[in-house]
Structure 1
């Protein structure tokens, strides 16, 4: 009985150690992406960023519209070039996503951040040469 109890304690301890090790590794991996962006110089960041042209489109309900511009930061040079080549697809994605949002959905910094995250996810679905790390809203007027 004592041997069985000791074995269970050892197995539980080993499982806890493995979980702790794997959990901290994934947290480090998530944090490394943010740290990588923070470590880039302004020049390096500019080289990885593609600036979209101004766009005007309807918001949900068709009685309001938004005039906006975005800059998309890629994780590598090939991905930045791919963003330029996929400009028509990215414009389409943005038009479709904004058409689902009301002015209240993108109100304030929290709404803007949610919109940027959603656009990043959708654009990354079509990317093959890398990923978009961040979407920056560089202009926004809602009328």
Structure 2
């Protein structure tokens, strides 16, 4: 055996040992870390879906949902500002309120609410109420005015039943 043969054998043994070290790192990841991550992910998924713990709380929350209460305002018929020919706006509005007790407050504050609505609606021009974007701006402004008229606010939404511009 020559010294070259011994060196070749030593290099092959060193290559085999380093290959085992590289393989052992991959084995560690594949057989230990990856299954742990999968189990943790599955556990979080089961917990978040409500199958594990918190199932009764979710059921109680569904029962705590209150039915909406609606309050119809009188119909509005106003002339719109702008140049001739004269345009009119006819509106039927329903308010969604927090509870039945809020209806009593609305009855008491009705003159103030109607005044705020009339003042705003009479300043509108026909192009202000065109399209869904225009109606959204009208809805937001009416909501702002009613919340200013009644403190603390009891109206959660304004619903248009009918809007006619003539």
**Smaller-chain TM-score bracket:** 0.5 to 0.7
How many Å apart are 1:40 and its aligned residue? 5.2
The superposition leaves residues 65-110 of structure 1 with CA deviations (integer Å, 9 ceiling, x where unpaired) of 1111101112233323212222222111111111121111111111
State the secondary structure of the residue aligned to 1:73: strand
Q: Does 1:127 align with 2:160?
A: no
Map of 2:79 onto structure 1: 58
Q: Which runs of 5+ in 2 are unaligned?
A: 1-63
- 2:128 & 2:140 partners in 1: Cα distance? 13
TM-score, length-scaled by structure 1: 0.63
- 1:108 & 1:61 partners in 2: Cα distance? 18
**Over 6 Å off, 4+ runs:** none
Q: Could you say which structure has the larger radius of gyration?
A: 2
Q: How many residues are treated as equivalent by the alignment?
A: 101
Q: Does 1:100 align with 2:119?
A: no
TM-score, length-scaled by structure 2: 0.55
State the secondary structure of the residue aligned to 2:118: helix
Q: Aligned-pair RMSD on alpha carbons?
A: 2.0
